Structure formats: C-alpha cells, structure tokens
C-alpha cells in the first residue's frame, strides 16, 4: 500500500504529464479555421492536423505499451513527455502543410507513451483499490491539459497567428513535462512478461471488450463535435470571433470535475449504472448543440463534456481494475488504441461531413465562415 505522500506525488506527476500531453495534442483544434484559410483547405482537410496525430498515437500505443513491459513504465512516460514537448517547439517552424502533418504524426507517436502506459503505472503504484480514484485524477489532468491548450492557442492566435499560438502551448507543455521529470516516482521492476500472451488475454474478456467499444465510439463522437465547433461558432448565423468561440473549451473544466468525481460515483451506484448514465447524458448534450442559438450550443458542449469525461473515467478505470496482472500494459494499450482510433477516424469523418454537407466553408482570412450550400472551394483558388 502506497503511503499518502508518495501517492500525492504520483498523482501530481501524472496530472502534469497529462496536461503537457493533451495540451499539445489538441492545441491546433481552435485554430483549424486559420490553418484552413492559409492552406486553402476545407474543414475536413484542416481537421487532419488533429487526426493524423491521434491516428499515429493509436497505431503506436500497443508497441509502446509492450515496450513498457520490458524497460518499465517510468522511462516510457518520461521519454514521452520530453519528446512530445520538444516536437511541439519545432511544429510552428514547418514550412508547408505536408511537413506540418508529418511532424504532427511524429508528435502523436511521442505522446502515445503517456496515455498508453499511465493507467498500468498507476495500478502498479497504487494497487487495485486506489486505481479508480487515481485514474479519475489522471483524466482530470488530461482534460485540464486539453482545455488549457485549446484556450491558449485560441486566445493567442489573434495577436500571434496560429504559429505563435502553438509556440505558447509548447512552452506551457515544456514546463509541465519538467514537473513530471522531477516528481514521477519509480515504477515496479519490468518483469518481461509474454507480451503476445498478455495481448490475447486482454482481448478475451467481454467486460474489457465493452470498455474498448466505449472508448472507440464515445471518443469518435466527442472529437467530431469539437472539430466542428470552431467552424460552427464562427460561421453564419452565429458569427462569433475566433477568440470568443474558443471560450467553448472552458467546458473542459466540467470534464476535469466529473472525471475526478467518477470514482465516488462508481462507489455509490456501481460501474454499469455510472457508465450508462454518463453515456445517455453525453447524447443529450450533443443534441443541445443542434439549434442555431449560442446559449444552447454552449450548454450542449458543457453537458456533453461533463458527461463524456465521466464515462471515459469510469470505462478506463474499469478496464484497469479488471485487467489481469499479466496483461495490465496490454489492456491499457488496447483501451488507448481504441480511444484514439475513435478520435482520429471519428474526428476526421465528422469534420468532413460537416464541411461537405453544404453548411460552411472557411473564408480566406480565417476569421469566420460563410454559408455555402453545397459549395466547394475550387482547387485553383489562390
């Protein structure tokens, strides 16, 4: 049993890693209209800035989780936060959109070392009894990072441009990564378990398969809505400025609270009821974003975000608690793989459908969107 002081240190270090990782991962989301304008892209094309990173993360997470069984969890987490922050500092220097996408893919691979390993690290450090609350605290840090990265880039894109905005987020992430390096306690000794056998075990249990399905479908829907948020809020008829539109990411604060409280919810009503209730509330929040009303759209994102992160915390903690000791890394890796495949595929598909359903196109300045029923930008447009 870990004593309170080392347990607090563990949670602080993991939360800092989550802030760093997720600030970097989703920093381009609020500036997608600006990226679309600069490179003459539709919303689906611009959304690749997010989707290639989450897709690369999904592809890399299982090999990295397997590596953590050999070299240990702590070295993988530390390498992840250091490498991803360094790539974040290089990202704004990319001279073309293809180069930007390549570096974003590499950054996704680097980030994969944290979410793919963190739940298994916490289970080893804190034990089965403490893992639900610890995973909730980790996801609270993740949501805070996602909110902070989005707000920082959204608010600084006006005076600094989207490249300067990404620099600001990279600087924040660098500071958080240093906190993780200094505070993260050692993990258990690597046991060099049979990786393939552990993977088979992780795919055999129906209760684990259900959590992977939640990760895939819920995250895909969630990111699709947030990828479209900038275009929706800055376009007709809502017509908000990019800085004001980025305030929608304050909804992530509710996700931090709900994910941290998920452990208490599970203790009160059980995992199944907590998960089903959170998913139903997520659907209700998504429905609220449909009317052309800023208050309703904002309320929808608040409800959606609060409920989604509660569901994610319950499902992730459930998977970590049910993972056999011989397959903790593989279970964590598979959960993260499905989670980010959902983000990559769902996010890109949602933005593509939104852009090609005749609802919006980016104007050339990237300061808003104009209605364009069925209109597509001509490839020869300057």
Say yes or no to pLDDT of 129 above 60: no
- pLDDT band of residue 380 (cuts 50, 70, 90) is very low
The per-residue pLDDT for 4 is 58
Closest to 375 in 3D by CA, of 45, 42, 34: 42
Question: Could you tell me the pLDDT band of residue 233, with boundaries at 50, 70 and 90?
Answer: confident
DSSP E strands: which ranges in 318-374? 361-362, 369-370
Q: What is the mean pLDDT of residues 324-353?
A: 79
Q: What is the pLDDT of residue 132?
A: 60
pLDDT at 61: 83
Q: Mean pLDDT of all residues in the chain? A: 81
The DSSP secondary structure of 53-97, one letter per residue, reads HHHHHHHHHHHHHHHHHHH-HHHHHHHHHHHHHHHHHHGGG--SH
3-state DSSP helix/strand/coil percent for the chain, to nearest 5? 80, 0, 20
Give the count of alpha carbons within 13 A of 340, CB side only. Answer: 30
pLDDT in tens, 274-283: 999 999 999 9
Give the pLDDT confidence score for residue 147 in this predicted structure.
Answer: 82
Give the pLDDT confidence of 26-80 residue by residue, as tens digits: 899 888 888 888 888 887 788 889 889 988 988 898 888 878 878 888 899 999 9
Helices (H), 184-205: 195-202
With a cut of 60, say whether residue 374 has pLDDT above it.
no
Domain ranges within the chain, ordered by starting residue: 4-370
The structure's pTM equals 0.70
Q: What is the pLDDT of residues 322-336, one digit of tens each?
A: 877 777 777 877 888
pLDDT in tens, 90-122: 999 998 999 999 999 999 999 999 987 887 788
- CATH class for domain 4-370? mainly alpha
- Geometric angle at alpha carbon 143, from 137 and 148, rounded to 5°: 125
Backbone angles phi, psi at 362, to 5 degrees: -75, 140
Query: How large is the greatest C-alpha to C-alpha distance in the chain, in angstroms?
Result: 65
d(CA 64, CA 62): 5
pLDDT of residue 360: 41
């Amino acid at each position: 049993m870990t004593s309170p002081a080392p347990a607090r240190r563990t949670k602080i270090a993991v939360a800092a890693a989550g802030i760093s990782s997720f600030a970097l991962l989703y920093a381009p989301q609020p500036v997608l209209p600006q990226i679309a304008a600069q490179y003459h892209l539709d919303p689906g094309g611009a959304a690749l800035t997010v989707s290639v990173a989450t897709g690369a993360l999904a592809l890399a997470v299982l090999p990295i989780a397997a590596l953590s069984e050999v070299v240990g969890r702590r070295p993988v987490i530390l390498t992840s936060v250091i490498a991803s922050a360094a790539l974040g500092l290089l990202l704004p220097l990319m001279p073309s959109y293809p180069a930007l996408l390549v570096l974003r893919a590499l950054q996704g691979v680097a980030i994969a070392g944290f979410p793919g390993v963190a739940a298994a690290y916490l289970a080893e450090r804190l034990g089965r009894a403490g893992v639900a609350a610890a995973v909730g605290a980790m996801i609270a840090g993740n949501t805070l990072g996602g909110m902070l990265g989005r707000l920082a880039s959204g608010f600084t894109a006006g005076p600094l441009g989207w490249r300067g905005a990404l620099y600001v987020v990279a600087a924040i992430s660098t500071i958080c990564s240093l906190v993780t390096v200094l505070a993260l306690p050692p993990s258990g000794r690597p046991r060099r378990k049979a990786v393939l056998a552990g993977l088979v075990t992780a795919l055999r249990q129906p209760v684990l398969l259900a959590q992977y399905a939640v990760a895939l479908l819920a995250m895909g829907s969630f990111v699709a809505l947030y990828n479209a948020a900038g275009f929706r809020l800055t376009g007709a008829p809502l017509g908000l400025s990019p800085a004001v539109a980025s305030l929608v990411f304050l909804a992530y604060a509710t996700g931090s609270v709900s994910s941290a409280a998920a452990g208490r919810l599970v203790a009160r009503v059980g995992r199944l009821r907590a998960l089903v209730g959170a998913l139903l509330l997520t659907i209700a929040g998504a429905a609220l974003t449909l009317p052309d009303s800023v208050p309703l759209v904002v309320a929808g994102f608040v409800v959606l975000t609060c409920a989604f992160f509660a569901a994610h915390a319950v499902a992730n903690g459930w998977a970590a608690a049910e993972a056999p000791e011989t397959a903790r890394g593989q279970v964590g890796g598979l959960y993260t793989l499905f989670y980010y495949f959902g983000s990559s595929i769902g996010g890109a598909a949602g933005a593509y459908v939104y852009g090609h359903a005749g609802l919006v196109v980016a104007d050339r300045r990237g300061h808003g969107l104009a209605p364009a029923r069925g209109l597509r930008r001509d490839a020869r447009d300057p």
